[in-house]
Amino acid sequence: MKKIQDFQKMKSDGQKISMVTCYDYVSATIANHSNVDAVLVGDSAAMVMHGFDTTINASLDMMAIHVGAVRRGAPDKFLIADMPFLAHRRGMKLTMEAVDALLKAGGEAIKIEGGEGQFDIISHIVESGVPVMGHLGLTPQSIHQLGGYKVQGRENSKATSLQNQAKELERAGIFALVLELVPSRLAEKITDTLSVPTIGIGAGPKTSGQVLVWQDVLGMNNGFNPKFLRKYLNGYELIANALNQFDADVKTQKFPSTEESF
Q: Which residues are catalytic?
A: 180
Window of 40-48, 66-74, 223-231, 253-261 that interacts with ligand KIV by CB under 6 A: 40-48
Q: Which of 67, 136, 201, 217 binds ligand KIV (CB under 6 A)?
A: 201
Q: Which residue, among 38, 122, 42, has the nearest Cα to 81 in the 3D structure? A: 42
Nearer to ligand KIV, 44 or 221 (CB): 44
Site string for ligand KIV, 212-231 (x = CB under 6 A): -x------------------
Distance CA 95, CA 75 (A): 26
Ranked by CB distance to ligand KIV, the top (closest) residue is: 42
- Binders of ligand KIV in range 81-140 (CB under 6 A): 82
Nearer to ligand KIV, 160 or 209 (CB): 209
Rule CB under 6 A: is residue 178 a binding residue for ligand KIV?
yes
Nearer to ligand KIV, 93 or 176 (CB): 176
Q: Which of 44, 198, 207, 221 binds ligand KIV (CB under 6 A)?
A: 44
DSSP-derived secondary structure letter, 226: -
Distance CA 84, CA 183 (A): 26
Instruction: Quote the crossing angle between the two packed helices 92-105 and 119-127, to the nearest 10°.
Output: 50
Q: Which of 32, 39, 43, 81 binds ligand KIV (CB under 6 A)?
A: 43
Distance CA 178, CA 193 (A): 15
The three-class DSSP label of residue 261 is coil
CB of residue 191 to ligand KIV, shortest distance in Å: 16
How many Cα atoms are found within 13 Å in the side-chain-facing hemisphere of 154? 4
Rule CB under 6 A: is residue 211 a binding residue for ligand KIV?
yes
215, 196 in Cβ contact below 8 A? no
Torsion of CA 236, 239, 242, 247, to 10 degrees: -90
Per CB under 6 A, residues contacting ligand KIV are 21, 42-44, 82, 178, 180, 201, 211, 213
